[in-house]
Amino acid sequence: MNEQKSFMLEAVKLAGMALDNNHGGPFGAVIVKNGKIIAQGYNQVIKTNDPTAHAEILAIREASKILNTYDLGECEIYTSCEPCPMCLAACHWANIRKIYYSNTRKDAENIGFKDNLMYEELKITTNNRLTRIEIPEALEIFKKWKQKPNKIIY
């Protein structure tokens, strides 16, 4: 088995743990840096009652803690299933440039998860869920940020 498949198998083993322990949906992920797994996660939505406790999010948070930076630009993620939009965007914010997955969003849909639907909804810019309430104070804060010296852009 090549190295990439072995990392993927580790992610899948974690997915199995989530399933067997009833901690959450059957999803697992590992983060790799310089050819070594440095962090891992599996879905814990049910166990922790945290709707954001997806495998990738937990793995990213662990890797960031270990490396002491929000910038995981030198890392890759292996996830047992194509990331949902939350996790894909989290990879973006963490600057993870290579994302490897095995099962697809369609496979996830087939077992009852709404990843695919969510991707479709994210293409729509206006709907009855999202409502703008514009207050001038909000843009004032953005202006202050723009003028702020030595700010850290992440």
Relative to beta strand 98-103, strand 75-81 is: parallel
CB of 96 to its own copies, least distance (A): 9
- Cβ at position 43, least distance to its own copies in Å: 9
Q: Which of residues 124-143 bind its own copies (CB under 8 A)?
A: 129-135, 137-139, 141-142
Q: Which of 64, 60, 62, 56 lies closest to 27, judged by CA? A: 56
The DSSP 8-state label assigned to residue 43 in this structure reads: -
Q: Which one is catalytic: 10, 56, 76, 82?
A: 56
Tell me how far, at minimum, the Cβ of 24 lies from its own copies, in Å. 8
Which positions ≥6 away from 55 have C-beta within 8 Å? 11, 14, 15, 18, 27, 28, 29, 41, 42, 43, 79, 80, 87
61 binds its own copies (CB under 8 A): yes
Give, as ranges, the residues between 37 and 56 that touch its own copies (CB under 8 A): 45-46, 49-52, 54
Per CB under 8 A, does 109 bind its own copies? Answer: no
82: annotated active-site residue = no
Cite the active site residues.
56
